[in-house]
Structure formats: structure tokens, C-alpha cells
Amino acid sequence: MANHDLTSYDPVRIALPGASVADADVDARIREILEQIPEYERDDAHGLCMRDKAKASVTLRENGVEMHGLNHVDLTITVGDGFFPVAFAEGMLGMKAGDRRVFSFEVPALGSSGDDGCVSVMDADIEVREVRGLVQPILCDEWVAAHIPRMGTAARLRETVRGELEGERSRKLADLKRARCSAALGERLIGDPDPEVVDRVASRIREDFERQVIRGEAGGRCGQLARLSDEERERTITAEAARIASEGAAIGLMAEHFGVEASDDEIDRILETSRAGSGASWQAFGELGDRERMRTVAIFEKTLDMVVESAIVLQSSNEG
């Protein structure tokens, strides 16, 4: 770090979104809770929609051969719940009590994904006996008493939901504040980060990405990288590695400037609890022994704590 410096060692200035939870956020979470406990009303004249329930006599044949145990079998079906193929559920849409419908659809053949063109033709013969339509429950004291009695009243449930949302937002804001403080420090770095550090960080990012792909994790950062071409992905990984390395170098300079140290007791606590750090502080240090590596982690984390504590929040908004 001898060839590096920071443009300033003053407190960083960052912007953060507002911390308040809007009524609309509470309403959305309440709707999720209500949908998790669906309610149905019998309405035989109602045409079946997705998520409705039906009592029906079902016969299924695959490539002309009757499927074992599915010959005029009476079943209670939740339309579109995934137990039967989507095409089967779609074939039931609009049916009312007393209706009979015969239709065909295709599914991947046994042992095939369907991409190879190997399919089975299914013939369905369905007679609906009873229809129970999904109704949207209304939040009230009676509903709470029936389904979440420990809450007591609808007002208590709303209050609890708001508290949970506020806790979630507070934790997210704390993480965001830490990330933005680290990024602000990285932007103060004079000079490029050590190429060897950038290469090490890039290698870790690639390894993490490959592990997530193998595990089938398609969301979040992994999903974003997976949608890029090989060339775009490599550019993105290199840029991210350079950013992380810059932040690590900047935090290291702050630690030197303020003389931040880590005691042996602190190192012991880190080793005992396996809190091996994350982000810039974990990625930036070199190939050191475990104990010295933990010391570096502790110093970096303590330094970032100081930066976060002294940060000046310029504005609050309703973003995020």
C-alpha cells in the first residue's frame, strides 16, 4: 500500500433510502399471509379458475393405455397446484359442476425432458361433481381468531407485521450503509489496486459463480452473471474484483492512518466463532497464516465500523 493514498480521511458522505415502512408495504405483506391460508366456498355454477377446488371423476390414458389407478377415480383437485401437468389444469378451466370434458395434451415421455421431442399423448376424461371457488379472505378479528389466534385481533396482526417489516428494513439499511461506506472509501483511493489482489478476488468470484451454477442457484448475482455472454461476464467479474480490491486497499489505509489494531483476544473470538469476515475485508488480504489472516480481518472490520459510525448521511429517500 506504500504507493497508494486516499484523497481524504474525513468521514464519508453517503445517501440512504428512508427507513419508514409505508402502509402499502404492510398491506402487501398482509395479502401474502391471507393467500397462504386460502378459503373456499361451494359454488357449483362457478366456472373453474386456477387455484379453485373441484371434486371430479377422472380417467387418464397415456398413449392409449389406461393409467393404473386412474379409471373413473373420484379426486379432489386444486386446479393448477402442480400435482397434475399444467395442460391438465388448463383443460379443466371453465368447467362447472355436472360438466364432462374429454381432451388431450402432451407431456415429456418418461425419462425425457421433452427437449428431444419425445412426448406422450395423454387423454383425459373428466366429470366435475362439485366446485369450490377460491375466495379472497378479508382481514378481520374473526379471521385472525380462526387462523392466527395468538395474534388476537386484526389490529395486533397489523402491528406485528409492521414491526417485522421495520426490523427487516433496519437490517437491510445497516447492510446498505456498510456497503456504501466501503464503496465511498474505494472511490477515494489514489492509484489502481494491486493487480495480484484483483486476480485473487476475480478467481474467488468465478469459483463462487461456478459453485452456484452447479447447485442450480439461478437467482441474485449468479443469475445476473449467467445471463451474460462469456466476454461480458469476464469484464463484469474483473470490474467487480477491481472495485472490491480498491475498497480493501482503502480500508487498509484508513486502518493505518488511525492506528487500528486487533488484540489476541479478538483474534481468538473470531477463530472460535468462525466469523471470517466478508466483502472487501475478506477478499483483499493476501496469502497469510490463519491467525494473521484473522487479525487482518478484525482490523478491517473494526476500521469499517469506525467509518460507518462517523458517516454523514446526506439525504434520505424512498428508494429500495
Task: Give mean pLDDT in consecutive 10-residue pieces for the chain, a chain of 320 residues.
Answer: 81 91 95 91 95 95 90 93 92 96 90 68 96 92 94 96 95 94 95 91 91 82 88 94 94 94 81 50 45 83 94 70
pLDDT value at residue 11: 96
pLDDT value at residue 291: 73
pLDDT value at residue 202: 94
DSSP string for 81-124: SSSS-HHHHHHHTT--TT-EEEEEEEEEPTT--STTS-EEEEEE
pLDDT value at residue 238: 95
pLDDT value at residue 2: 47
pLDDT value at residue 93: 96
pLDDT value at residue 232: 94
- Name the residue among 258, 257, 251, 247 with its Cα closest to residue 296: 251
pLDDT value at residue 274: 44
pLDDT value at residue 104: 95
Segment 169-190, tens digit of pLDDT? 999 999 999 999 999 999 999 9
Distances (CA, A) of 298 to 153, 258, 266: 47, 14, 7
pLDDT value at residue 74: 94
pTM strictly above 0.75: no
For residue 9, the 8-state DSSP code is -
The answer to whether 300 and 185 are in contact (CB under 8 A) is no
pLDDT value at residue 263: 87
pLDDT value at residue 133: 95
The two beta strands, 13-17 and 312-317, are: parallel
pLDDT value at residue 285: 40
